[in-house]
Amino acid sequence: MNIAQYIDHTLLKPTTTSDEIKKLCDEANQYGFAAVCVPPPFVGEAKKYLSAGNVKVATVIGFPFGYAVTAAKLAEARQAIQDGAQELDMVINLVALRAGNTALLASDIAAIVEAAHQEGRLVKVIFESGILSDAEIIECCRICAEAGADFVKTSTGYAEKGASVAAVQLMRKHLPSSIQIKASGGIRDYAFAKELVEAGANRLGCSASVAIVTGATQNASGGY
């Protein structure tokens, strides 16, 4: 399996530096990752470093807690698009979900999807599946389908539990085939990455991307 083509090479820590972004992009170019996912202030830099290749630039909206008001998320999204982001990973309003306010949850997602699609950008909607019930995940899938999201995504990587095979399988069961799945959070080796793809993930959000690709090479040669 060419695992690199599934990976969004990710660096989202609050102390990120320009040198680290350049290294991230150099690695993405070298290994042929699908995208880099960087903090909003670094979108322009990443775009510059990736200008000669096919690697996409992704950034995050309402990250990592999702409870920013929709107007703030829209401002973030529009700025990211202006800076050159091709994919937006937005966090759902978890406060609205837990309060049972599905109208607010849905309108928040729909607003970002509409703004992004008007500019030809993709949206990945982050659920934080590790802290949700199956019923909440299913409801989020329904809302994302109605909003026309491009992807749903398991996790921010900031909760106590990240991606799981079970969450990916549940999402795949309750989504139309037109919506893809990004698994993220806690993916540190090739074996787990492969499991997630086989469960239905179309993308993988990883910070250990180089180790995962190296593991894939070792696995193919009988290393493990």
pLDDT in tens, 151-206: 999 999 999 899 999 999 999 999 999 999 999 999 999 999 999 999 999 999 99
pLDDT at 124 over 50: yes
pLDDT at 221 over 50: no
Answer for the pair 67, 38: CB distance below 8 angstroms, yes or no.
Answer: no
Residue 210: pLDDT band (50, 70, 90) is very high
Average pLDDT on 104-108 reads 98
What is the predicted pLDDT for the residue at 42? 98
Average pLDDT on 19-37 reads 97
Question: With respect to CATH, is domain 7-28+35-220 assigned 3.20.20.70?
Answer: yes
Mind telling me the catalytic residues? 89, 153, 182
Task: Convert the pLDDT of each residue in 48-91 to its tens digit.
Answer: 999 777 999 999 999 999 999 999 999 999 999 999 999 999 99
Smallest Cα–Cα separation from 43: which of 92, 78, 2? 78
pLDDT at 4 over 80: yes
Helix (H) or strand (E) holding 24: helix 18-31
Print the SS3 string covering 136-160.
HHHHHHHHHHHHCCCEEECCCCCCC
What is the predicted pLDDT for the residue at 220? 46
Count the Cβ atoms, other than its own, within 10 Å of residue 151: 20
Answer for the pair 3, 193: CB distance below 8 angstroms, yes or no.
Answer: yes
Residue 216: pLDDT band (50, 70, 90) is low
What is the predicted pLDDT for the residue at 223? 36
**How much is the pTM?**
0.94
Residue 218: pLDDT band (50, 70, 90) is low
What is the predicted pLDDT for the residue at 224? 29
- Spatial separation of the C-alpha atoms in residues 109 and 123, rounded to whole Å: 9
Task: Return the structure tokens found at 169.
Answer: 């399988």
Average pLDDT on 2-24 reads 97
pLDDT at 217 over 80: no
- What are the boundaries of each domain within the chain? 7-28+35-220
What is the predicted pLDDT for the residue at 222? 38
